[in-house]
Structure 1
């Protein structure tokens, strides 16, 4: 009997889910991809992970429902491109992205969801993190050195959101290294592959078994 593939609950545009899909792609791990709408979360997903966020990776022996944990699990199975070089520094940078940058990104991009929020103020606060990335990238071609790895792939989906909130404004900023780095990821074959569209999952749907 063929072993069942891991199940990945995902939402195409979510940067956290992009992290998971990027790492699974790099590791060459096939999954059963289940695409959902965040406003209509399936009961099967909530049964697997009651906290109700994506991505969720369902394995035979456990459920992983944090994006960085999914990345680490996938890369520890197989890391052909060496994403885990400088792992400690990469996790520190990813943590700063999640705790320092993402709250400001949300209040910039989705300002109407927050009371008494000035989106320009939060855009400026988020820009401090981008400037830190610019400094890193002025000294090396990737965030962790010469080779793209965990730091880059854990971070760029969020910088993508920031850049796309006001593309003209972002293009006018003096971040040539960040802009070139972001463009290289957005124009990559890997990003195109992990961003392909899937039909919404339903309990009786025939689902593709890869990412």
Structure 2
């Protein structure tokens, strides 16, 4: 594997890693993909990023991008053929609402046993408020900020997917026709299929030290 490629530490089912991979794919950025197990994180990744979460992108110049949105922006600023960075300011505001307001409720709905006194139904109801706002937007256009997909759609979609898959029957029964169409379109896209291909778990070569 050429050493001038960025190294991506990823976990296939993590929504943060999904959105990073989507942007890397859209920007045609080649990377050395290192699939990890969250329960057995490689020392090379922890050396690069001690916080121990994915995704992590180690650039050839030694810089380390430790947040999914930073990886998305870096990739798309290199090459943005689909113009995903149009309306970037509005997109970042909507993404922030997803990450700081919706995601905590999603976690307490999907993983209620991990949180003391979390009522999953209450958190599902709070998370649903955000999805309703997306449905309202999508009734006005096919994408969250107009007619064409952009940064907001790609950054938010993996989390709505996770919400929907927590209880598929309940989600399907909700009166969110535009959000359902939007989600289905992304789930069925060639790009999503490409970034969800399975990779073997990466193990460090025995003949060299872990990457710094």
**Cα contact 2:11–2:36 (8 A) shared by 1:** yes
SS at match of 2:8: strand
Q: Which runs of 5+ in 1 are unaligned?
A: 206-211
How far is the alpha carbon of 1:104 from its aligned partner?
0.2
TM-score relative to the length of structure 1 = 0.95
**Cα contact 2:3–2:60 (8 A) shared by 1:** no
**2:57 is aligned with 1:57:** yes
Matches within 5 A, 1:143-158: 143-158=144-159
* 2:134 corresponds to: 133
SS at match of 2:164: helix
* 1:44 corresponds to: 44
* 1:208 corresponds to: none
* 1:16 corresponds to: 16
* 2:89 corresponds to: 88
* 2:210 corresponds to: none
Greater shift after overlay, 76-85 or 3-12? Answer: 3-12
SS at match of 1:33: strand
**Cα distance in 1 between the residues matched to 2:3 and 2:35:** 21
Aligned-pair RMSD on alpha carbons?
A: 0.9
Aligned length in residues: 204
* 1:32 corresponds to: 32
Q: Which runs of 5+ in 2 are unaligned?
A: 207-212
SS at match of 1:139: coil
**2:184 is aligned with 1:183:** yes
**2:38 is aligned with 1:70:** no
How far is the alpha carbon of 1:3 from its aligned partner?
5.2
Deviations 1:129-179 (A, max 9, x none): 001100100101100111101000000000000000000000000000000
**Cα distance in 1 between the residues matched to 2:37 and 2:97:** 27
**Cα distance in 2 between the residues matched to 1:68 and 1:88:** 13
- Deviating 4+ runs (over 2 angstroms): none
**Cα distance in 2 between the residues matched to 1:3 and 1:110:** 39
**Cα distance in 2 between the residues matched to 1:69 and 1:161:** 21
**Cα distance in 1 between the residues matched to 2:137 and 2:95:** 14
**Cα distance in 2 between the residues matched to 1:114 and 1:3:** 42
